[in-house]
């Protein structure tokens, strides 16, 4: 696609990095809030019967949401690393960076 590194658009190469960093920060904050909420709900909310089932369902949804946020972050980071590998291969002799 690009024959010379000078021809490559820098915005396309570095555009994903701030997005990934902001998602990582939001995932950490979201995880902290969810852990706090689960702790408060389990330790301080007296429930019984149907309320206990509803609370268990809500807590399970919170855990699934946290896991999904981290999975999305992991997937985006792997995709970004794959793109960087392709950019490196296009800009050099085709071998990825790292030990040989």
- For the chain, the domains span 15-88
Query: Can you give the pLDDT of all 100 residues of the chain as single tens digits?
Result: 555 555 555 555 555 556 788 888 989 999 999 999 989 988 888 888 898 899 999 999 999 999 999 999 888 888 877 766 555 555 566 565 555 5
What is the pTM (predicted TM-score) of this model?
0.59
Give which of 73, 87, 76, 94 is closest to 12, Cα–Cα: 87
Question: What pLDDT, on the 0 to 100 scale, is given for residue 94?
Answer: 57
Question: What pLDDT, on the 0 to 100 scale, is given for residue 19?
Answer: 79
Give the span between the Cα atoms of 93 and 31, in whole angstroms: 42
Question: What pLDDT, on the 0 to 100 scale, is given for residue 2?
Answer: 52
Question: What pLDDT, on the 0 to 100 scale, is given for residue 82?
Answer: 75
Burial per residue of 41-78, b for 16 or more beta-carbon CB atoms within 10 angstroms, e otherwise: eeeeeeeeeeeeeeeeeeeeebeeebeebeeebeeeee
Question: What pLDDT, on the 0 to 100 scale, is given for residue 98?
Answer: 58
């Amino acid at each position: 696609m690009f024959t010379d590194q000078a021809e490559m658009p820098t915005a396309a190469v570095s555009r994903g990095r701030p997005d990934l960093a902001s998602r990582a920060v939001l995932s950490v904050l979201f995880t902290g809030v969810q852990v706090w909420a689960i702790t408060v709900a389990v330790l301080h909310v007296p429930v019984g019967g149907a309320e206990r089932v509803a609370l268990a369902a809500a807590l399970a949804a919170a855990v699934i949401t946290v896991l999904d946020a981290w999975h999305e972050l992991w997937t985006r980071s792997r995709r970004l690393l794959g793109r960087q590998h392709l950019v490196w291969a296009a800009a050099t002799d085709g071998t990825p960076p790292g030990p040989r």
